[in-house]
Amino acid sequence: MTFRHQTNYYRGKVRDVYTIDDHFLVMIASDRISAFDVILPRTIPFKGQVLNQMAARFLKETDDIVPNWLRSVPLPNVSIGIQCETFPVEMVIRGNLTGHAWRTYKSGLRTLCGVTLPEDMKENDFFPEPIITPSTKAHEGHDEDISREEIIRQGLVSREDYEQLEKYTKKLFERGKQIARERGLILADTKYEFGKSGTTIYLIDEVHTPDSSRYFYADDFDNRQKEGKPQLQLSKEFVREWLIAHDFMGKEGQAIPTMSDEFVQSVSERYIELYETICGEKFIPKLVSDDEIIKTVNEVIQKL
């Protein structure tokens, strides 16, 4: 696709990003899915629409905490906003010992991104306080864990800006947990990305979606922890677990396992289930053609 006054194009792991007049960004959320920083060969029906609509909703529900990049959502899988200079780190915040943090902990390590982890924790336990474990943001290949001190020492983010990113991250996570709690869920962990335009820091990309976050069901959480059972969750983690069970973690030499039609459909249903649970409304799938995207985006950009 090409848009009027287009000045750049970037194909991300799950989004196609078009720059217009070096000022606006058009993000098209695809149905691609990535895990362990690898784009998997099968697409997931309606995943892009789920992510785009959820991100738009949560950006609106957090704009009193931090300004964000979004200016229009003209189609279910399309967002338009202002271009920012992206900070080269992702602000990962964890309320529970799960996912990558648990795999690190289980290996015997007690430090993650410069943060000391408490002893005697079980998988999915709550941390005494949420911890921030940043990662570098890789355009290709794997994101890497990094400490607060290293980010500042390497000049990836200035000390002043990084301290502000930490404050925004903690406030956004608290708001996300509150919203999740109202829907009977626990927001276990998530990540935020930020950019800067002029002197203003903006929240960018997706927020509180199943690609960037892990949710647990709250009603049976305590019982499952006491009994040592896996937590019921709504996130992309079950895709990672399926890949791990098939000997794939994105490492060199590992082959991506074949995803059956049934598995692909189950992933799609999980995404839709999370949308309906966290948003409290019925998901209405909609297919959008490239011609409709081009026509609509060109019209909207003219008015911005």
Percent of the chain with pLDDT over 90: 87
Task: Please give the single-letter amino acid code of residue 35.
Answer: A
**232 or 200, which is more confident?**
200
**Mean pLDDT within 275-297:** 94
Q: Kindly write down the DSSP assignment for every residue of 147-202, as one continuous string.
A: -HHHHHHTTSS-HHHHHHHHHHHHHHHHHHHHHHHHTTEEEEEEEEEEEEETTEEE
Q: Looking at this protein, which amino acid is placed at residue 274? A: L
Give 20-70 as a DSSP string: ETTTEEEEEE-S--EETTEE-SS--TTHHHHHHHHHHHHHHHTTTTS-BSE
Indicate whether this model's pTM tops 0.85: yes
Report how far residue 244's alpha carbon sits from residue 35's, in angstroms, rounded to the nearest whole number.
Answer: 10
Is residue 93 scored above 90 in pLDDT? Answer: yes
Per the structure block, which two tokens stand in for 123? 């998988």
Give tens-digit pLDDT for 108-165.
999 999 999 999 999 999 999 999 999 997 655 557 999 999 999 999 999 999 999 9
Query: What CA–CA distance (Å, rounded) separates 156 from 277?
Result: 37
pLDDT bracket for residue 299 (50, 70, 90): very high
Amino acid at 174: E
Q: What structural domains and CATH numbers belong to the chain?
A: 6-84+269-303 (3.30.200.20), 86-239 (3.30.470.20)
Distance CA 19, CA 299 (A): 15
Q: Any idea what DSSP says for residue 145?
A: B
Q: Which of 43, 45, 91, 74 is nearest to 205 (CA)?
A: 91
What confidence tens digit (pLDDT) does each residue in 48-57 have?
A: 999 999 999 9
What is the C-alpha separation between 59 and 52, in angstroms, rounded? Answer: 11
Residue whose pair of structure tokens reads 């396992």 in the numeric block: 257
Beta carbons of 131 and 190 less than 8 angstroms apart: no
- Residue range 289-304: mean pLDDT, rounded: 95
Encoded tokens for 279: 């948003």
| DSSP characters over 274-303 | HHHHHH-S--------HHHHHHHHHHHHHH
